[in-house]
Structure 1
Amino acid sequence: MGTRSGGGRRRSTGATRASAVAATLALIVTGAACSSSEDQVPSIGYAIDNVVTSYNANTVDGAASGARQAFVRVLPGLSYIGPEGTALSDGDVGTAATVPGETLTVAYRLNPDAVYSDGVPVTCDDLVLAWAAGSGRFGQFWAASRAGYADIDRVDCQPGSKDATVVFKPGRAYAEWPALFGATALMPAHVAGRVANVPDVVGAVSSGDPDAVGRLAEFWNNGWNLVPGEADPALFPSAGPYRLDSVGESGEVVLVANERWWGNKPGTDRIVVWPKNSDLPAHLDSGDLDVVDVGAGAIDGLSPGDGYDTVTEPSRSSEQLVLATGGVFAAADARRAFASCIPRQQLFEDYGHPGFDRASGMGSGVLDSRLAQQDMLIYPTAAGVANGRYREPDVDAARSALSASGQDSITVRVGYLAPNARRAEIVAAIAAACEPAGITVEDAGAEDWTPGVLAGGAVDAVLAGTAGAQGAAGVDSVVTPAYALASGNGTNLGGYSNRRVTEIADQLAVDTSDGSRLNLTTEAENILWSEMPTIPLFAAPRATSIANGMHAAVPNYTIAGAGWNMDRWILLR
């Protein structure tokens, strides 16, 4: 799949399907052809409900930020996440094909014309760096997730080549391999090598040179952080239709057409990504925002009205509380006590389905599984483990469990990226319900929130989406949420450790049979409802507003966000 296309004006039903996405290329072309150049708006504003603090969406902090949404068409990969939540191949970047044999082996061929905006070719060195960072075999990298990359035995790559052969470990045929090396996963290895003084990145990784790899990791972890007012093009080259032009004082990310892009020219030359800390309501009033992709009710005062088509839908992100496994929550009894006083049913009624009602599937009720999503065949059985428990506050059960933990009363500080009106109201509702049980809940939302606050002890729980993300999150998979509970994984923010749950995550990664996935997910839920490292609430609802006259903007209720095809956007006035 080479060039990507999106839909025309948003349907009022909010349903997004792959066929609708594919059918709109003619609309884009026709709309552009029938208008004069004066009709097209030269710059489009795109608002997200997260901050963009890093160019690297693969670190723990970067993954929780809005980097994935901002740079999905700046740092493309061999696949991207479409509106259905699954990985689709991106032929503009290259091709991938399995090689016959007992062990999963994938041959990658990068596009011969693929080149970064600084003139350096895109090569297999970039795949080697991505694998090294995510593999887990080099402890210096602070990668968000090892899913899939830890299953790779080696990446055969001649430095500077356009070809690579990825060989997986025996028995570790990672089922979702097409999603590996996808959009925002490939970082420019030549930049990391230059700054870290490692001329041969492939050689350093292959030999396991600890000093060289350590220098690479130090840059990979921190070297691509974004600072308002600064954007050195030597550090941030692009391999996509857009390149990073600047970072404004309010944190806005300005993207412009990449002159070296080898594919179809972007529909609009300039995109400005406005983060949540840039006063989005003011920018809406000023006419700066044309596509708004935020959690429903998250940004107080942000209400696009006439001139926009707005649709609210359940997303593939699970709104949840991630609990610490130390401090007041060191004992599972304390975590169960907190779960016992949370009004999950009322929270769903008040915040889980704004503007829509579903009889079944996504967004149809309280979420009773951490791994399975509500439209999956395995969901009813996996969710049945909860057996209706923890839906309504049970003060007696909460007090009993708290006493069993050796504590008469506790204070729970709940953190999240502020401001977020919906999450603030959820915390307030939980506080009111838990107070009679001797559990004081404090709102610890902060504008400088980072994922490390939970492990660092600054808060006791985090209110977040799948894998701890604060904005758009989730894909159509049980693997991503399973690894967020696996020992040692970067997205396991609470530091939860259970050997069997980790084994289940590893098994889910390679076993795709319905029966196995049903049994494994159900087994995991039995453990998780007992040990309570997280408390699922509901499928996070998201609101997408698209300005009238916009062509090709298609909501994407996954980790990719609405910007998944921003290079096709055209706004006509």
Structure 2
Amino acid sequence: MTTPRRSSRRVARTIGALTVAATVGACAQSADQVPSLGFAIDNVVTTYNANTREGAATGTAAAFGRVLTGMNYIGPSGTPLADTDFGSGSVVPGDTLTIEYRLNPASVYSDGVPVACDDLVLAWAAGSGQFTRPTENGPVPMFDAATRAGYADIDRVDCEPGAKDATVVFKPGRSFLDWRSLFGATELMPAHVAAQAAGVPNVVSAIASGDIDAVGRIADFWNTGWRLVPGELDLTRLPSSGPYRIGSYTEDGGLVLVENERWWGNRPATSRIVIWPKGSDVQAHIDDGEIEVIDIGAGSIDGLNLGNGFDVVDEPSRNVEQLVLANHGTLGAVEARRALALCVPRQLLYDELGHPGFDRSQGLGSGVVDSRITAPDTMFYQSAVAAEGGLYTDPDVPGAEAARESIDQPNLTVRIGYLGPDERRARTVREIAASCEGAGITVVDVGSPEFRPSALGAGQADAALAGTASASGAGGSSVPTDASFALRSGNGDNFGGFSNQRFDQIVDQLAVDGSLAARMSLLGEAEAILWNEMPTIPLFDQPRTVASSKGIHAVVPNPTRSGAGWNMDKWILLR
């Protein structure tokens, strides 16, 4: 990848850039301003709903953070920040955690329907897991939600249909520590659209009354009704609650966001943003002057040449690059998973691919990551990773061979998939294949533009090379429940199907127990279980590259699932 200038700057220029943007924004859309900006991301956008298993693994959250707003958004530090344009939440004193939410009285969707507490009720119902339908293998959730973190701890959401306030009451003893991360950007879908599609008066009444038939119809639409197919959009089902709305989506023209005329906050500084998802010819669009901002995995686009017109920031993210293993089929036996882990050259992969353009002595991006659920820049990291003990840092080919032979698999073949094309991940698979060959393990690259982490459950791959919770592009946050729930039994984004009762108990306790002593003990025990059971193989903090046209204002890298587009409504480029 050829780039003109690399920098680790980020926060240092944030305040100045936003100040300039605010000043220039006063005369936005002047003759000197570029009226439309192109934004390339490294994931596909196949649904409007980022909360389904499909949506959470795609680039929906990175694309629509300023289209579907909420009570909060993930800022560059990885923590949830309150979005007071949308509403506010405050704790009600008492033994049971209770939050009073107030929506902005002026809030309205782009189709003219007011934003209401109905949207919170739908988000809770979808994420709670409490609505199920019977199958031959037992009850399964009606809503194909990616995660139940926090939402499953809510007892009820008190809401009058159409009202601007709601009271969220948690279950006794389940005071969810990260409640400020709930009901955030892209998590609140337009409930009135789902109600209309399901043929019910409103979602609040159907959910409150426990009308299983009506809720089932709502869930069916929630699961699949917001899918996006280029050239086939029904814009009436895609109203916006943010400064941008979808204008069009085509293969040739990209995903076009235009100004939402009904937005009640500050107008977007640039009225049109064109998102170019994974699969777009990024180099051609750069050469044609159609892309001004790029947020991709470092080294993912082979031969990318930005010329001299971009400033580039390379930095580690809160997204842990890892192999998510199918806990069935070829890797169903723990010794098979351990055999693979023993021959993966984790240190080599970090050295060659894990820190391009930056060197960190500590914290994020400073070395091989030995934990799936505890970040390297936290006080708990060193105690949590003690269980790894250096056993899996460098390849142990004899050990891997012995583990393979112990389960009598003379020809262990492991198919590793990822969303392609992705040069860094292709190189990762090649290095793993070369290292594991001596242990009698054949590694096959099954990465493709159609790959999804659901391929693990479908038996189409044995491992997914992706980030936290199997996200293919931007992912992660500093909220610890995101990573831990991705390995909890029954959670939607647990694509490998890992299940351990004690680990589930630990995850549930960590979600509500803020005691430092308890957290230190529990995180160490959790990681010991994970290294013993090997549901995933962590590699390194995923490096990200953010490039922006020289002279553009307010582009601030955000190495989380929000991506650089977290503040796209502030971007300005003058000619």
Shared fold per TM-score greater than 0.5: yes
Once the two structures are superposed, what CA deviation does each residue of 1:40-84 show, in whole Å capped at 9, x if it has no partner? 000000000000000000000000000001100000001000000
Match of 1:94 among 87, 93, 98: 87
1:258 and 2:260 matched = yes
- Which deviates more from structure 2 when the two are superposed, residues 403-412 or residues 252-261? 403-412
What's 2:356 paired with? 354
Kindly state the Cα deviation for residue 195 of structure 1 after the two structures are TM-superposed.
0.7
1:230 and 2:232 matched = yes
- Paired letter, 1:248: T
- Paired letter, 1:73: R
What's 2:486 paired with? 484
Match of 1:118 among 97, 106, 111: 111
Match of 1:548 among 547, 550, 564: 550
Kindly state the Cα deviation for residue 230 of structure 1 after the two structures are TM-superposed.
2.3
Kindly state the Cα deviation for residue 210 of structure 1 after the two structures are TM-superposed.
1.2
What's 1:420 paired with? 422
Preserved CA contact (<8 Å) 2:6 2:357: no
Identity across the alignment (%): 59
What's 1:26 paired with? 19
Preserved CA contact (<8 Å) 1:324 1:454: yes
What's 1:7 paired with? none
Kindly state the Cα deviation for residue 401 of structure 1 after the two structures are TM-superposed.
0.8
Query: SS state of the match for residue 273, structure 1?
Result: strand
State the alpha-carbon separation in 2 of the partners of residues 36 and 215 from structure 1.
44
Q: Provide the TM-score with structure 1 as the length reference.
A: 0.96
Closer, same or farther: CA 531–250 of 1 in aligned 2, 3 Å: farther
Q: How large is the Cα RMSD of the aligned pairs?
A: 1.5
Equivalences for 1:83-232 in 2 at 5 Å?
Answer: 83-138=76-131, 139-232=141-234
Kindly state the Cα deviation for residue 32 of structure 1 after the two structures are TM-superposed.
4.7
What's 2:136 paired with? none
Q: Which runs of 5+ in 1 are unaligned?
A: 1-9
Kindly state the Cα deviation for residue 207 of structure 1 after the two structures are TM-superposed.
1.7
Kindly state the Cα deviation for residue 451 of structure 1 after the two structures are TM-superposed.
2.3
State the alpha-carbon separation in 2 of the partners of residues 142 and 525 from structure 1.
28
Match of 2:467 among 457, 465, 468: 465
Kindly state the Cα deviation for residue 250 of structure 1 after the two structures are TM-superposed.
4.4
Kindly state the Cα deviation for residue 26 of structure 1 after the two structures are TM-superposed.
2.6
Kindly state the Cα deviation for residue 14 of structure 1 after the two structures are TM-superposed.
2.4
Kindly state the Cα deviation for residue 363 of structure 1 after the two structures are TM-superposed.
0.6
State the alpha-carbon separation in 2 of the partners of residues 508 and 251 from structure 1.
45
Once the two structures are superposed, what CA deviation does each residue of 1:128-185 show, in whole Å capped at 9, x if it has no partner? 0000000011211000000000000000000010010000001111111111000000
Equivalences for 1:26-105 in 2 at 5 Å?
Answer: 26-32=19-25, 37-105=30-98
What's 2:138 paired with? none
Preserved CA contact (<8 Å) 2:233 2:249: yes
Kindly state the Cα deviation for residue 34 of structure 1 after the two structures are TM-superposed.
8.2
State the alpha-carbon separation in 2 of the partners of residues 493 and 381 from structure 1.
27
State the alpha-carbon separation in 1 of the partners of residues 436 and 230 from structure 2.
41
Aligned length: 563
State the alpha-carbon separation in 2 of the partners of residues 81 and 559 from structure 1.
8
Q: Provide the TM-score with structure 2 as the length reference.
A: 0.96
1:526 and 2:549 matched = no
Kindly state the Cα deviation for residue 404 of structure 1 after the two structures are TM-superposed.
1.7
Equivalences for 1:322-333 in 2 at 5 Å?
Answer: 322-333=324-335
State the alpha-carbon separation in 1 of the partners of residues 401 and 177 from structure 2.
44
- Paired letter, 2:288: S
Preserved CA contact (<8 Å) 2:34 2:573: yes
Kindly state the Cα deviation for residue 391 of structure 1 after the two structures are TM-superposed.
1.2
Once the two structures are superposed, what CA deviation does each residue of 1:318-368 show, in whole Å capped at 9, x if it has no partner? 000000011111110110000011100000000000111111111111001
Q: Which runs of 5+ in 2 are unaligned?
A: 132-140
Closer, same or farther: CA 502–460 of 1 in aligned 2, 3 Å: same
Query: SS state of the match for residue 550, structure 1?
Result: coil
Closer, same or farther: CA 34–273 of 1 in aligned 2, 3 Å: closer
Kindly state the Cα deviation for residue 206 of structure 1 after the two structures are TM-superposed.
1.1
- Paired letter, 1:115: V
Query: SS state of the match for residue 240, structure 1?
Result: coil
Query: SS state of the match for residue 414, structure 1?
Result: strand
What's 1:400 paired with? 402
State the alpha-carbon separation in 1 of the partners of residues 53 and 490 from structure 2.
12
Closer, same or farther: CA 36–371 of 1 in aligned 2, 3 Å: closer
What's 2:516 paired with? 514
- Paired letter, 1:533: P
What's 1:441 paired with? 443
State the alpha-carbon separation in 1 of the partners of residues 36 and 385 from structure 2.
46
- Paired letter, 2:64: F
Closer, same or farther: CA 231–35 of 1 in aligned 2, 3 Å: closer
